[in-house]
């Protein structure tokens, strides 16, 4: 489930970054968050019964604040920077926060899984080593801005992973609903401050924003279930391998150059998965 969540996260990030190149980032994030929340509301009656307490909702709300902020920063970074560099940078930062906390709290994954985590971090770095476009005019500042956004996004997403994993298994998917309600309210408030036109987007782009929200919600649901069935340090690392699918989609759809080092990074991701799961 953690590996599948990585696939969906990567696809959602690709679609979100692509959509943010055609519409305001705030509008894209708001529509995607609302679409994900509505999809979860439709699915809840068909899921098993849950018993949610206030701590589950509070952790979910905190996850919504952190995750919503992280996604907004990520989409903006993907829009202004190189996707094959921004996405992996975000992933590395997203791994560091929850893994460090989990180990500090006494989690001991074992020698082979720890080796897998190290290999996974190296794989993410390799995937990020794409051939950079020539820096002329405003390209340099834009690329630098994209990297700053990627680092900030990764730290926020790491907090999202950590907060969501603190919810109880009995809560079912309700913490995700609390997270989505919080993040959607946040961006609605930001849109109110920015003005009425902040949420406007071309109708041709709307389906892409909705698809982004559905992919992201599917990834979140898979991650939430996975985090309740295994060590957080392992689950977060596997879920954070999503840049591989983002990079591959960027190569296939946008024809961004995929270097030999990046290909080696994708293969290294597979090695990391074998080490972590096998251990």
- Whole-angstrom Cα distance, residue 241 to residue 256? 19
Helix (H) or strand (E) holding 255, with range, is none
User: Domain containing 102: what range?
Assistant: 2-278
Which pLDDT score, from 0 to 100, does residue 136 have?
40
Spatial CA neighbour of 164 closest among 106, 214, 232, 96: 232
Per-residue pLDDT of the chain (279 residues; tens, 9 = 90+): 999 999 999 899 889 888 888 888 888 888 998 999 999 999 988 888 778 889 999 999 999 999 888 888 887 887 777 766 777 778 788 888 888 888 888 887 778 888 888 888 887 777 666 544 433 444 555 556 777 888 899 899 999 999 998 999 889 899 999 999 998 888 888 888 877 677 888 888 999 999 999 999 999 999 999 998 888 888 988 888 887 887 788 778 877 776 788 778 778 877 887 787 666
What pLDDT does 140 receive?
52
Residue 65, number of CB atoms within 10 A of its CB: 18
Could you give the CA distance from residue 262 to residue 20 in angstroms, rounded to a whole number?
24
CA neighbours closer than 13 Å in the CB half-sphere of residue 192: 6
Residue 76 to residues 27, 79, 105, 246: CA-CA distances in angstroms? 11, 5, 33, 15
- Provide the number of structural domains found in the chain: 1
- What is the reported pTM? 0.80
Measured from the Cβ of residue 46, the count of other Cβ atoms closer than 10 Å reads 6
Phi, psi torsion values for 259, nearest 5 degrees: -75, 170
pLDDT at site 142: 52
The secondary structure element, H or E, covering residue 273 is helix 260-278
Provide CB contacts within 8 A for 99, sequence distance 6+: 117, 232, 233, 236, 237
């Amino acid at each position: 489930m953690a590996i599948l969540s990585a696939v969906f996260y990567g696809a959602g990030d690709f679609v979100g970054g692509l959509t943010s190149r055609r519409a305001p980032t705030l509008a894209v994030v708001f529509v995607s968050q609302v679409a994900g929340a509505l999809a979860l509301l439709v699915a809840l009656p068909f899921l098993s019964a849950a018993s949610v307490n206030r701590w589950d909702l509070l952790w979910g709300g905190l996850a919504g604040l952190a995750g919503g902020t992280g996604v907004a920063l990520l989409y903006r970074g993907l829009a202004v920077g190189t996707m094959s560099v921004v996405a992996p940078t975000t992933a590395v930062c997203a791994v560091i926060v929850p893994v460090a906390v989990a180990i500090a709290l006494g989690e001991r994954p074992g020698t082979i899984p720890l080796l897998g985590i190290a290999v996974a971090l190296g794989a993410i770095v390799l995937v990020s080593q794409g051939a950079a476009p020539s820096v002329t005019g405003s390209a340099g500042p834009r690329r630098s801005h994209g990297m700053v956004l990627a680092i900030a996004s990764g730290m926020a997403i790491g907090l999202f992973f950590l907060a969501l994993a603190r919810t109880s298994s009995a809560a079912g998917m309700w913490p995700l609903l609390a997270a989505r309600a919080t993040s959607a309210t946040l961006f609605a408030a930001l849109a109110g401050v920015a003005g009425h036109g902040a949420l406007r987007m071309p109708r041709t782009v709307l389906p892409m924003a909705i698809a982004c929200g559905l992919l992201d919600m599917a990834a979140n649901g898979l991650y939430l279930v996975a985090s309740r069935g295994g060590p957080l340090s392992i689950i977060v690392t596997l879920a954070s391998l999503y840049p591989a699918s983002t990079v591959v989609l960027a190569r296939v759809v946008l024809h961004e150059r995929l270097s030999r080092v990046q290909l080696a990074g994708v293969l290294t991701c597979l090695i990391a998965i074998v080490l972590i799961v096998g251990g």
